[in-house]
Amino acid sequence: MLLSPLTRLGIPLVLLIAAVALLDRVSAIEPVYGRLLLWLPYLTFGIAIALSIFFNRARLFTAALAVLVSYGLIHTQLQTSLAEPGTLCIYTILSIVLPLTLLLLCVLPGPGLRNRFGVLMASIILAELLIAVFVLEYVPATTATPLINMWFPIKPYAGYILSVFASICYVLSALVGLVMLCRQDSETVAALLAVMLFSFVTFARFDQPRISSIMFAAAGISLIISLVRRSYDMAYRDDLTGLLGRRALNERLKGLGRGYVIAMLDIDHFKKLNDTYGHDVGDEVLKMVARQIAAVRGGGTAYRYGGEEFCVVFTGKDLLQCKPFLEEIRKGVSSYQMTLRNSRHRPESEETGMQRRGRRTRSRDSETVSVTISIGVSGYNEQLGKPQNVLKEADAALYKAKTNGRNCLAYKKS
C-alpha cells in the first residue's frame, strides 16, 4: 500500500512521544550521559547533512544546517536566564526566524544542491546568520529588550515561553506545510514539518532542563529516517506510479516460503492507446491503474513489473481466496471513466488548473477513455518450487487470459 500523506508523520510523532517521556526522567540521567546527550544533536544533524549531500537533497540539507546552527546558538549562548537582555534577543530571533525558514523550504522547489536553487537556499542561511550577527553586534541588548517586551513578549501564559507572534509563525508555517504535504505527498515536506514540531516544543517549553538537546536530537533522527526512507523509495519505488518496482519484487520473491499466490496484471491494448492519445494520456492511465491495484485487499502487495505490467503478491492464501480481491481490481479498472480534456479548454495557468481539479463538469468537446486489464494467477506448489517459477506460471496464465478475450482472470495450474 502507498503511504498516505499524513502517515508520513507517524514516525516523528512516535519520536516526539519518546522525547517527552525522556524529559520526565532527565533528572535521573547520570552526568556522563548528560554530557553525551548535550552533543547528540551535533552528531544526528551532522549525519543528516552528510546524507543530504550524498543524496543531493537541497531542502533537507538547508533545514539540517539551519537547525544545527540554531542548536549551536542555544548550546553556547542561551544557557543563562531569559531575563538577561542578550539571551532574550537571541531566543526571540531564533524562535521567529527558524519557523519562517522552514516555511520557505516547504514552498520552494528543491531539485538538488548543485544548481541555482541550492545556491539560493545556502544564501538564505547565510543571510539569516548575517542579520543575526548584525543585530547582536550592533543593536545594544538594552535597546532591543524594551522593543521585544513591547512587540514579542515571552511567557504569555503560565508554563508557555514562546511569544504570541512566534507562535503564530509556527502555526502558519505548520498549516502551509500540511497543505503542501496533502497536495504533494512529499517525504521532504513531512520531514520539514517534523523539524517544525520538535523546535516548537523546544521553544515553547524552553525552561525544561535539557529540552533542546532531547528535542533537537529527535529532530535530527527524524531527518535521518526521512533521508533513508527517501533513498529507499528512489531505489525500490517506481517514480511514475509510486508502486514498489521490479527490484523490490525480486527481493520479495527471495523471501517467500510456502503458501503464496502471485498475480500478473496487464493493461489491454495499451500500445494502441498510447498511439491514439499520446504518451501523456498513457502515463495517466498507468497511474490510474496503479491506484486501483495499490488498493488491493486481502493483504496483497502491489508492484509495477515494467511497462504496462503489474504484479500482486499474496501470502498465506490460496488461489480461490485471492480470486475475489483480484476480480475487484479488474472490475474497478474497467468501470473507471477517464475524462480527456480538449487542449483548447486546458487552463492557461497552474493556479487555474488547481482550482478546476476535482470538479465533475465536462466540456462538450471532452471525451472519455476506459481500459481493461487481464490477470494471470498462479500459486505455490511443490512441483513449481521456486517463486520465480510461480511467477513464470502466472505470466503464462496472463497469456491465457489474453487469448480468452482479455478483461478476465485465468489460472495456470501445474
Domain with CATH 1.20.1070 in the chain: 5-236
CATH superfamily of 246-341+364-411: Reverse transcriptase/Diguanylate cyclase domain (3.30.70.270)
pLDDT less than 50: residues of the chain: 1-2, 343-346, 350, 354, 357-358, 360-364, 414
**Residues that are catalytic:** 308
* Cα(407)–Cα(414) distance, integer angstroms: 23
Looking at residue 286, its pLDDT comes to 94
Domain with CATH 3.30.70.270 in the chain: 246-341+364-411
What are the contacts of 47-54 at 24+ separation with CB within 8 A? 47/220, 47/224, 48/220, 48/223, 48/224, 48/227, 51/224, 51/227, 51/228, 51/231, 52/113, 52/223, 52/227, 53/113
Cα angle 56, 57, 63 (rounded to 5 degrees) comes to 140
Looking at residue 366, its pLDDT comes to 65
Whole-Å CA distances, 211 to 26, 83, 347: 9, 19, 50
Residue 129 backbone phi and psi in degrees, to 5: -65, -40
| Beta pairing partners, 411 | 377
| Beta pairing partners, 260 | 315
Whole-Å CA distances, 180 to 56, 168, 355: 21, 18, 15
Q: Pairing state of beta strands 409-411 and 373-379?
A: parallel
CATH of domain 5-236: 1.20.1070
Residues in the chain: 414
* Cα(378)–Cα(395) distance, integer angstroms: 8
